[in-house]
Amino acid sequence: MRKRTTGMSPRLSSRGLLWCIVFACGLLLLAWVGVAGFQSGAGPVHVALGIAGGAAVAASVIVIWLSVQRSSRSIRKVTEGIGRIEAGDLDHRIRTNATGETSDLVLAFNRMATSLTSMMGDLSGERNKLSAVMETMSDGVIVVDSSGDVELLNGAAATLFGVDPGVDPETPLSVGHDHELRQLVAACRVAGEPQYAEIILTAGRRTVSAVATPLEEQPGGAVLVTLHDLTELRQVETSRREFVSNVSHELRTPLSSIKAMAETLEDGGLDDSSINVDFVKRIHIEADRMTTLVNDLLELTSLQSGQADMKPEQVDIASVIREEGSRYVQVARGLGIEANVAVPEDLPRVVAQEDRMRQVVRNLLDNALKFTPENGRIDLSASADDDVVEVRVSDNGLGIPPESLPHIFERFYKVERSRRNEGSGLGLAIVKNIVQAYGGEVSVESREGEGSTFSLTLMVAETADVPVVGAPV
């Protein structure tokens, strides 16, 4: 916005005032020539020439003044245009009727503005492409300035650092609290070449492979850091080591027992009728234990790899629960445990496989028997709610410690206080994988010293969706 000058027209600049004075002098010169001619008695021709000369001077002054004013307006427009371009109005162009050098100036400005607009459009397009690439990368990318603050980070890096991707970009983020990352960036600045390291980020304890690359030739400049998340890979490696260790342990125990008893029999125990029959029975038991472990391992591997036959069918879950439950009622009574089975007559069929459901019920009842002491109680029940059937196995046994609940469905996980510890530690993992394969869910509620309740839900079957077991084709 232009400022007005007190006592002067807003359009009358100091330069305009100067030209007005010159014009007034020309008029005075014209008047003086006429008066002087008459006073001196000059002839009409001389007076006319004088007046014409004065008029020419005045006309020249007017023409020059108009030209200067036009040039001045064009220059002001160019100045204003530069200001608007600087403010971000790249679409601004100057319109003028000027000719000559002033017109060339305006045309040059407009060409410059057009070129600048094109360049900014190209830069914006490249920036959008770079931004799209950055945001779709699975690896984290950050740029760290000379003070250690993060100037730029993509979505993957925001996740690794535990930062909301929508946070205000002006909010400072520093790598100072990540000691290993800070050391890597510092080493990159000193060496002036890429540095590599595997580090653990403070936020979320994520393991990452980090590469720091200098962005400037001079030491101490900005550094580009790429972060590849290795957490899942390291977890898989840890699980593989634990798996091998657990299998080795589970096989070592019965093998050691078999070897010891075989050596005893070999050293003369075979002729001792008081021990030979007992040792042979124990060898059979340990062999069966290893066979069960191997079978469970093969079963779980087949389920987790998707190679198991899990074709859905309509299963009469009520019959499965009654038949399996009645068998375990007798086993429980032999251990001094009360067992009850409660299943409604109108319980709908579910989507599953009958053999798989029998395996699930057996594993849950086996688990309950291991953790229920003598004179305890186990309840097997089921109910329907809308489009799901819920099966529950409850006991008032030892219960599960709170720290063990998140791991109870993991392979080989055992709560080492069961009354019978001969299980493989794979039963509940098999239950979880079977139930989830049919779109169901499995959960556990427990209080230490009060007992546990394992629950699973299965979808109610519809005749049009899956076949009925044993139905004619």
How many Cβ atoms sit within 10 Å of the Cβ of residue 63? 10
Residue (of 26, 13, 92) closest to 58 by Cα position: 26
Residue 170 pLDDT exceeds 50: no
Q: Which amino acid is at 1?
A: M
Residues 6+ apart with CB under 8 A from 341: 321, 322, 325, 326, 329, 380, 381
The predicted model gives 120-140 an average pLDDT of 75
Tokens of 422: 């001969």
How much of the chain is helix, strand and coil, in % rounded to 5? 55, 15, 30
For 292-348, write each residue's pLDDT tens digit: 778 878 887 888 777 778 888 899 999 999 999 998 988 898 889 999 999 998 899
DSSP assignment of 298-365 equals HHHHHHHHT-S----EEE-HHHHHHHHHHHHHHHHHHTT-EEEEE--TTPPPEEE-HHHHHHHHHHHH
Amino acid 348: pLDDT:
92
pLDDT band at 350 (very low <50, low <70, confident <90, very high): very high
Q: H or E segment at 381?
A: strand 377-385
The residues, ordered by sequence, that sit 6+ positions from 467 with a Cβ below 8 Å of its Cβ are: 313, 314
Assign 202 a pLDDT band (cuts: 50, 70, 90).
Answer: confident
**Long-range contacts from 247-251, C-beta under 8 angstroms, 24+ separation:** 247/293, 247/297, 247/412, 250/293, 250/412, 250/424, 250/425, 251/290, 251/293
55 or 226, which is more confident? 226
Q: What is the mean pLDDT of residues 249-259?
A: 82
Average pLDDT, the chain: 77
Confidence of residue 140 (pLDDT cuts 50, 70, 90): confident
In the DSSP assignment, the letter for residue 268 is T
Q: How far apart are CA 237 and CA 298, in angstroms?
A: 20
With residue 225 as reference, give the H or E element that holds it. strand 223-229
Q: Which residues contact 331 (CB under 8 A, 6 or more apart)?
A: 369
More confident residue, 164 or 195: 195
Burial 66-81 (b: 16+ CB within 10 A, else e): eeeebeeebeebbeeb
User: CB–CB of 448/400 below 8 Å?
Assistant: yes
d(CA 248, CA 251): 5
- Per-residue confidence (pLDDT) for residue 319, from 0 to 100: 93
Look at residue 444 in the predicted model and tell me its pLDDT: 93
Domains defined for the chain, CATH in brackets? 14-119 (no CATH), 138-229 (3.30.450.20), 234-305 (1.10.287.130), 313-459 (3.30.565.10)
Query: Binning pLDDT at 50, 70 and 90, where does residue 392 land?
Result: very high
Show the DSSP H helices in 87-199 as ranges. 101-136, 155-161, 179-191
Quick check: 258 pLDDT over 50?
Answer: yes
Q: Which residues, in sequence order, are CB contacts of 177 under 8 Å at separation 6+?
A: 202
pLDDT, average across residues 186-199 = 89
The per-residue pLDDT for range 397-456, each reduced to its tens digit, is: 888 888 888 888 887 777 765 445 556 678 898 999 999 999 999 999 998 888 999 999
Give the closest residue to 414 by CA, choosing from 395, 396, 427, 432. 427
Q: Are 339 and 301 in contact, with CB atoms under 8 Å apart?
A: no
What is the distance between the alpha carbons of residues 247 and 237, in angstroms, rounded to a whole number? Answer: 15
DSSP annotation of 269? G
Percentage of the chain modeled with pLDDT above 70: 74
Q: Does residue 379 register a pLDDT over 80?
A: yes
Q: What is the mean pLDDT of residues 10-37?
A: 54
